[in-house]
């Protein structure tokens, strides 16, 4: 069937059919398949870079920002890096077939709970062609088919990458329909993907807070919500200055545009005089603009007055909100009001307060005396990261390959019936 | 604040606030709380039965069926049974605080993944007042607050039960706002519950396929889909007659109105002559009406011709669809087309075929040589059952208390930053 005459739904039906074959592949077969994909991406480098050049030219004509154009751009080195990442995923342990629970009932029935592929994983994301390869490789490694909907700005690049990956599947004797794109249907493709209950088993949006919000509210397919991080660091009364300064500066400056970067620092009043001047000086030296409340403004020159909106803002830039709170209760109240439940950290020498913070803060990752930048699948030792879940269902925090699997119960009996 | 003047949303905000206290209760405190609820329900028996009598009178006037009236009815014995069930839940192990993963990073940060309460569990269900107590007890045992929306037919009974349970909370020094009902807002209560993203963490619908479909498609709160079961038994070429007969009859007859009852039997052609006559005779003797294809009709008298609709029907009665298939492939195709992914079982003496069936069937529970009636939290040894999930996200198959928890990562460091 020509790619030009079918519908988005037909493609998803074919992905579902292909998922049966992919779901039964052995560990070795899946690893070999990913190696074949990596090789084919490298072999197709010229095609991919040429398609990308057209996307870039269109993006420049459409006035895309320099940041977006940089995310969109693929040169030979970046294509090579994509292939290397696929080979890394190939080397990860198979998440399918793990026995998660096992019990023999009194009547002799042997029960096993085993990990199985979801079936079909969908992803809606923005103009980053690396996500196309990344999600497809992770989904396949976990035995799933995948349906992709990338941003229109990268549609030519994505098509070239999907062509390469499908070619590798066909070459390995695997149904190429296991990788689908619905990019060419524009917004309708995204809409059909969100309505594909029964064909698509889980949808992972990746991109802006706006995109994720749209998918979470509109999708009838179960969603794993990733993303937005209004991340807090609390500097407790007893916080050692060096830890406080290092953790705040590292959390804000090391990579300001990512979701685990610090957005708001809350300082306990009885430590404000001791901690705020040196921490603020280190931040300002690193080029950070501090948005502070009146107490912070009184201690530091060059502070922008914080507005209510600042507390709810994920700056994604060298801007940081800072507030003095009366005590740990007020800090916890502030976090409850403004946190996106991604990551929060307390800096303290008081173990009881650290444990209270760890117990009471309702976020995917809660830290004591560590940089929030550690909330990351790679840092956690997962080898790869599907995203960082900020929801409570199924997966929470950094997601590795096991989070791309479901489970089923197997029951082996010898004719048992229920009395 | 009077229960008559607030809004559904205000109640959910109060549930969210109360969930903080409930989430930090110790194992012993939660068990004691449930014992207090059981005692209060018993003490309030007269009130509850009186409220139920009014619901029943209204139901009779409204022409409810005898079956619905029976589900709705509570007498002293049934109220006592509710209290006993709550005490059983109190005795279950605490699902909160389990360490599910633990790793120390090279830099010395100690990571722990621990089970935590969801926060607020919502439930939308139909006219069975026992669900009111059941879900509230399970949610509280797992450290959650709960927002309930039962059917309007049981609203008086539900209000009496909620009053009793809230009274027990207050008596135990726990914020009674941890149990809320939005029954008195009618359909608006259900709608607000489905839109309460950020206040309600997970929604568990219980009831008809229609109700579950509505919640799954309309809810913006993450849903755990429970329920509908078009359950298949395959009789393989080598199926021992005794196992085949026992498993089919037990699966259909023991309790026809439940989701794990058998709806369709698929018989391999080369076993049809041997198996169908005696299995059909046993079914007919037990009062079952067989809806059969032409091959079944040719072998058995008194068979109703099966329609296409029969294959997709959850009969919930002493009706059973039966079809002859050419081979295991055709059986698997049939199951893929019509299964609701609840439970399927094969009866066979051929281990390779059993293992193929277990591997390839994509259902929450897949069995070889056992009655599908074993798909049940109690039978699985969970001590209690929240429902049977037919979705792949978060929980699949019978759900126990652990499925009413989420997780969070705790990170304990000594000033580590990311290089």
Tens-digit pLDDT profile for residues A103-154: 999 999 999 999 999 999 999 998 789 999 999 999 999 999 999 999 889 9
Distances (CA, A) of B280 to B303, B321, B382: 9, 11, 34
**Confidence tier at A5 by pLDDT (50, 70, 90):** low
Question: Do B368 and A103 count as a contact with CB atoms less than 8 A apart?
Answer: no
Distances (CA, A) of A315 to A255, A260, A392: 12, 11, 24
Res A210: pLDDT: 87
Q: Token pair for residue A273?
A: 């005089």
Question: Do B392 and A365 count as a contact with CB atoms less than 8 A apart?
Answer: no
Is the pLDDT higher at B207 or at A173? A173
A193 lies in which domain range?
8-225+399-411
Res B2: pLDDT: 46
Question: Do B118 and A250 count as a contact with CB atoms less than 8 A apart?
Answer: no
Residue A55 in domain: yes
Helix (H) or strand (E) holding A118: none
Is the pLDDT higher at A3 or at B323? B323
Question: Do B410 and A367 count as a contact with CB atoms less than 8 A apart?
Answer: yes
At residue B115, φ and ψ (nearest 5 deg) are -80, 135
Task: Say if residue A221 is in the same domain as residue A264.
Answer: no
Residue A381 in domain: no
Task: Say if residue A221 is in the same domain as residue A238.
Answer: no
pLDDT at A3 over 60: no
Task: Say if residue B359 is in the same domain as residue B220.
Answer: no
Question: Do B411 and A367 count as a contact with CB atoms less than 8 A apart?
Answer: yes
Res B5: pLDDT: 66
Question: Do A418 and B359 count as a contact with CB atoms less than 8 A apart?
Answer: no
Bridge partners of B346?
B234, B368
Q: Which chain B residues touch A412 with a CB distance below 8 Å? A: 354, 358, 367-370
**Alpha carbons B343 and B397: distance in angstroms, whole number:** 8
* B362, B370, B413: residue with CB nearest A119: B362
Mean per-residue pLDDT, A174-195: 94
Residue B71 in domain: yes
**Burial of A209: CB neighbours in 10 Å, binned 0-12, 13-18, 19+:** middle
Task: Say if residue B162 is in the same domain as residue B294.
Answer: no
- Most B CBs within 10 A among A408, A414, A419, hence the mutation to make, goes to A408
Task: Say if residue A192 is in the same domain as residue A322.
Answer: no
Q: Which chain B residues touch A375 with a CB distance below 8 Å? A: 409
Task: Say if residue A43 is in the same domain as residue A123.
Answer: yes
**Alpha carbons A183 and A193: distance in angstroms, whole number:** 11
User: Nearest CA to CA, how far is B290 from chain A (Å)?
Assistant: 21
Helix (H) or strand (E) holding A175: none
Residue B379 in domain: no
**Alpha carbons A95 and A400: distance in angstroms, whole number:** 9
Task: Say if residue A24 is in the same domain as residue A124.
Answer: yes
Task: Say if residue A96 is in the same domain as residue A206.
Answer: yes
Task: Say if residue B138 is in the same domain as residue B209.
Answer: yes
Region of B398 please: left (phi>0), alpha (psi -120 to 50) or beta.
Answer: beta
Nearest CA in chain A to B119: A362
CATH number at residue A32: 3.40.605.10
Res B4: pLDDT: 54
Question: Do A368 and B224 count as a contact with CB atoms less than 8 A apart?
Answer: no
Res B209: pLDDT: 82
At residue A413, φ and ψ (nearest 5 deg) are -125, -175
**Alpha carbons A236 and A278: distance in angstroms, whole number:** 15
Question: Do B408 and A366 count as a contact with CB atoms less than 8 A apart?
Answer: yes
**Alpha carbons B72 and B78: distance in angstroms, whole number:** 11
Residues B343/B365, Cβ–Cβ less than 8 Å: yes
pLDDT at A2 over 60: no
Res B1: pLDDT: 41
Name the A residues in 198-257 with CB < 8 Å from any B CB. Answer: 201-202, 216-217, 220, 222-224, 240, 242-243, 246-247, 250-251, 254
**Alpha carbons B342 and B399: distance in angstroms, whole number:** 13
CATH number at residue B338: 3.40.309.10
* B109, B365, B391: residue with CB nearest A374: B109
Residue A267 in domain: yes
The label of the residue with tokens 């023991």 reads B254
pLDDT at A313 over 70: yes
Task: Say yes or no: A110 contacts chain B, CB-CB below 8 A.
Answer: no
Which of A157-171, A340-354, A384-398, B139-153 bottoms out in mean pLDDT, i.e. has the lowest?
Answer: A384-398
Mean per-residue pLDDT, A330-356: 97
Res A4: pLDDT: 54
**Alpha carbons A66 and A72: distance in angstroms, whole number:** 10
CB pairs under 8 A between A and B: 203
Candidates A129, A124, A132, A131; CA nearest to A185 is A124
pLDDT per position as a tens digit, B142-175: 999 999 999 889 999 999 999 999 999 999 999 9
Domain count, chain A: 2
Name the A residues in 32-71 with CB < 8 Å from any B CB. Answer: none
The maximal CA–CA distance of chain B, rounded, in angstroms, is 80
Residue B91 in domain: yes
* A220, A365, A410: residue with CB nearest B411: A365
Residue B185: Cβ within 10 Å count: 17
Res A56: pLDDT: 97
Question: Do B202 and A392 count as a contact with CB atoms less than 8 A apart?
Answer: yes
Helix (H) or strand (E) holding A53: helix A45-61
Residue A201 in domain: yes
Bridge partners of B120?
B145
* A116, A345, A416: residue with CB nearest B371: A416
Question: Do B392 and A417 count as a contact with CB atoms less than 8 A apart?
Answer: no
Residues A184/A177, Cβ–Cβ less than 8 Å: no
Res B228: pLDDT: 81
Helix (H) or strand (E) holding A337: helix A328-338
Bridge partners of B303?
none
Task: Say if residue B308 is in the same domain as residue B209.
Answer: no
Task: Say yes or no: A362 contacts chain B, CB-CB below 8 A.
Answer: yes
**Alpha carbons B9 and A368: distance in angstroms, whole number:** 34
Res B385: pLDDT: 84
Q: Which chain B residues touch A379 with a CB distance below 8 Å? A: 105, 418
Res A261: pLDDT: 96
Task: Say if residue B180 is in the same domain as residue B292.
Answer: no
Please state the pTM of the whole predicted model: 0.93
* B103, B118, B364: residue with CB nearest A409: B364
Residue A344 in domain: yes
**Alpha carbons A89 and A385: distance in angstroms, whole number:** 10
Name the B residues in 9-28 with CB < 8 Å from any A CB. Answer: 20, 24
Question: Do B417 and A246 count as a contact with CB atoms less than 8 A apart?
Answer: yes
Name the B residues in 365-394 with CB < 8 Å from any A CB. Answer: 365-371, 373-375, 379-381, 391-394
CA-CA-CA-CA dihedral for B50, B55, B57, B58, to nearest 10: 150
Task: Say if residue A253 is in the same domain as residue A310.
Answer: yes
Q: Which chain B residues touch A24 with a CB distance below 8 Å? A: 359-360
Res B217: pLDDT: 87
Residues B160/B51, Cβ–Cβ less than 8 Å: yes
Bridge partners of B99?
B114
User: Nearest CA to CA, how far is A115 from chain B (Å)?
Assistant: 11
Res A1: pLDDT: 41
Which residues of chain B are under the pLDDT cut of 50?
1-3
């Amino acid at each position: 069937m020509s790619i030009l005459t079918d519908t988005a739904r037909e493609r998803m039906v074919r992905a579902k059919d292909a998922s049966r074959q992919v779901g039964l592949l052995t560990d070795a077969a899946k690893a070999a398949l990913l190696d074949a994909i990596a090789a084919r991406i490298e072999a197709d480098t010229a095609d991919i870079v040429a398609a990308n050049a057209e996307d870039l030219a269109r993006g420049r004509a459409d006035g895309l920002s320099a940041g977006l154009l940089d995310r969109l751009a693929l040169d030979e080195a970046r294509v090579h890096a994509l292939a290397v990442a696929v080979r890394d995923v190939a080397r990860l342990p198979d998440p399918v077939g793990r026995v998660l629970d096992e019990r023999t009932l009194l009547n002799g029935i042997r029960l096993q709970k085993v990990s199985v592929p979801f079936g079909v994983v969908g992803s809606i994301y923005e103009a980053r062609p690396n996500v196309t390869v990344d999600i497809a490789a992770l989904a396949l490694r976990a035995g799933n088919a995948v349906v992709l909907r990338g941003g229109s700005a990268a549609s030519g690049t994505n098509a070239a990458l999907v062509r390469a990956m499908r070619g590798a599947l066909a070459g390995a004797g695997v149904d190429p329909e296991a990788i689908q794109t619905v990019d060419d249907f524009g917004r309708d493709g995204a809409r059909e993907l969100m309505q594909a209950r029964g064909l698509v088993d889980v949808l992972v949006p990746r991109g802006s807070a706006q995109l994720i919000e749209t998918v979470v509210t509109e999708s009838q397919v179960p969603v794993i919500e990733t993303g937005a991080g209004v991340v807090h660091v609390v500097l407790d009364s007893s916080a050692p200055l060096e830890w406080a300064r290092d953790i705040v500066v590292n959390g804000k400056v090391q990579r300001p545009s990512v979701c685990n970067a610090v957005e708001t620092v809350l300082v306990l009043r009885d430590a404000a005089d001791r901690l705020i001047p040196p921490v603020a000086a280190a931040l300002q030296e690193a080029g950070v603009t501090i948005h502070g409340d009146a107490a912070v403004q009184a201690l530091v020159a060059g502070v922008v007055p914080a507005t209510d909106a600042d507390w709810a803002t994920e700056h994604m830039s060298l801007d940081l909100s800072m507030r003095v709170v009366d005590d740990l209760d007020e800090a916890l109240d502030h976090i409850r009001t403004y946190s996106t439940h991604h990551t929060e950290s307390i800096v303290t020498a008081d173990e009881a307060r650290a444990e209270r913070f760890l117990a009471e803060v309702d976020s995917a990752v809660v830290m004591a005396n560590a940089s929030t930048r550690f909330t990351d699948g790679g840092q956690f030792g997962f080898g790869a990261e599907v995203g960082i879940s900020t929801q409570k269902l199924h997966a929470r925090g950094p997601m590795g390959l096991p989070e791309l699997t479901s489970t089923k119960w197997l029951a082996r009996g010898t004719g048992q019936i229920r009395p």
